[in-house]
A and B are shown apart, each in its own frame.
Chain A
Amino acid sequence: MGSVLRTLQSWFQPPAQEVAVPGVPRRASLGLQQLVPVLRESEHAGVVDLGCVWQSTVSFFTGIGCKIYTEDLFAALQQALAEKKPEAPPLARVGLEQRFLASALQYPEGSFRGILVWDLFDYLPQELVGPLAARLHRLLEPGGALLALFHNRPEKVQFNRYRVVEAGTLELLPGSLPLQVQRTFSNRALLDLFAPFSTSRTFVGRDNLRELFLVK
């Protein structure tokens, strides 16, 4: 009886609210708006967030019936880069792919309906770009979609974390990882990189952030 009462009390408590942080910039995300209907097409769709875990992101996706996975590949990348011995010759970076990808995203093919990549590709060393793109394509189920962000002006980029606050709206929070943007992807480079995808749409914001929405 006590447990039933506790459970009932918990259900009538107000849900945990995302605390609005003063000064945290928000931006509209047309890519996210495109992704949500794709997720709704599938019952209990799996979506993986490659950033760090945020309550608001979890609440949003579980609220629309998704099962959300979180795997912070930004932190994994930073760890893989930190493991590189400074005295090692450049060829030692060949092992970076193994260090980073061997433990990352170990899921069966077609596990996800949606993937939130954020701006991870901008921070990847070149040898990881192609293998990660291929792995993301493999992890998506047919008809699933991927949202990735790319900076047009890397010289002005501050490392940010992204969290979903509502459909089509992101919050950008300063991150603490010492990652640096490695390059600017041209549209041609992105088309080549994601050639296996059937559909791609690009949205460019006033903040010089390109959103790439891809459907497998």
Chain B
Amino acid sequence: MWGGKKDEGTVPNPARENPTATARDLRPLGSTMGAGPRSSGARLGRSLSVKGELVGNEELVIDGEFEGSIELNESSLTVGPQGRVQADVRAREIVVEGTVRGNLCAADRLQISKSGNVVGDLVAARIVIEDGAYFKGSIDIQKPGEQKKTKGEGGESFRITPVAAKEKTQ
């Protein structure tokens, strides 16, 4: 399930190498990462392994392991080169430099970098895939406000639901 690229070695697992990491690895980025896309928001450090449901509205960088679900509807998620995510993700923008197993839905842009390894179904307004990236799954372009009928697996289980509507139903 967590296999790396099929023709390459496995991805290192920092969490297993350092199971004694503490929560201080989950900290704001401003003081450590400088300018750029990682300059605000939070970061899941390389030595952290988290399971659960993550909901929020700030930029998030995952360099460790995450399993569960992620909703960052107005913010961006970056899975760093060492990051390993097994989750369905919804965010405004998603950048994958590491390993992801799960369906990804980006309201705006979804990028798989050359070091990225993704198995899942992708839905986004714009998709950028760098040469050398590994991807297995489906790609569907959906403009904002558009809801296409999809065939096959994944289409029904991963819909964009307006937050207000979701709150009413809960």
A interface, CB within 8 angstroms of B: 3, 6-7, 10, 15-16, 44, 46, 52-55, 58, 62, 67-72, 75-76, 78-79, 107-108, 111, 176-177
**A7-B144, A62-B139, A176-B7 are known contacts. Are A67 and B150 too (CB-CB below 8 A)?**
yes
Q: How far is the CA of A72 from the CA of B137 in the complex (A)?
A: 10
**A6-B108, A10-B109 are known contacts. Are A53 and B7 too (CB-CB below 8 A)?**
no
Q: How far is the CA of A72 from the CA of B133 in the complex (A)?
A: 12
Query: Interface SS of chain B: helix, strand, loop or mixed?
Result: strand
| Chain B 103-137 per-residue mask, 1 if CB under 8 angstroms from chain A, else 0 | 00001110010000000000001111111011111
For residue A68, which residues in chain B have a CB less than 8 angstroms away from its CB? 138-139
**CB atoms of B108 and A55 under 8 A apart:** no
* A203 CB, nearest partner CB in chain B, Å: 28
A-B contacts, 9 of them at CB < 8 A, read A3-B92, A6-B108, A16-B126, A46-B138, A53-B135, A62-B141, A67-B150, A72-B6, A72-B134
**A7-B108, A7-B144, A68-B138 are known contacts. Are A76 and B6 too (CB-CB below 8 A)?**
yes
**CB atoms of B136 and A70 under 8 A apart:** yes
**CB atoms of B148 and A44 under 8 A apart:** yes
For residue B150, which residues in chain A have a CB less than 8 angstroms away from its CB? 44, 67
Contact residues on B (Cβ < 8 Å of other chain), bracket: 20 to 34
**CB atoms of A16 and B92 under 8 A apart:** no
For residue A6, which residues in chain B have a CB less than 8 angstroms away from its CB? 92, 108
For residue A67, which residues in chain B have a CB less than 8 angstroms away from its CB? 138-140, 150-151
- Across the interface, name the chain A residue whose C-beta is closest to B109: A10
- Across the interface, name the chain B residue whose C-beta is closest to A70: B135
For residue B149, which residues in chain A have a CB less than 8 angstroms away from its CB? 44
- Across the interface, name the chain A residue whose C-beta is closest to B151: A46
- Across the interface, name the chain B residue whose C-beta is closest to A113: B151
For residue B71, which residues in chain A have a CB less than 8 angstroms away from its CB? none
For residue A55, which residues in chain B have a CB less than 8 angstroms away from its CB? 128-131
**CB atoms of A3 and B6 under 8 A apart:** no
The reply to whether the CB of B153 lies closer than 8 angstroms to some CB of chain A is: yes
* A9 CB, nearest partner CB in chain B, Å: 10
Q: Which residue among B127, B151, B152 has the maximum number of chain A CB atoms within 10 Å of its CB?
A: B151
* B37 CB, nearest partner CB in chain A, Å: 12
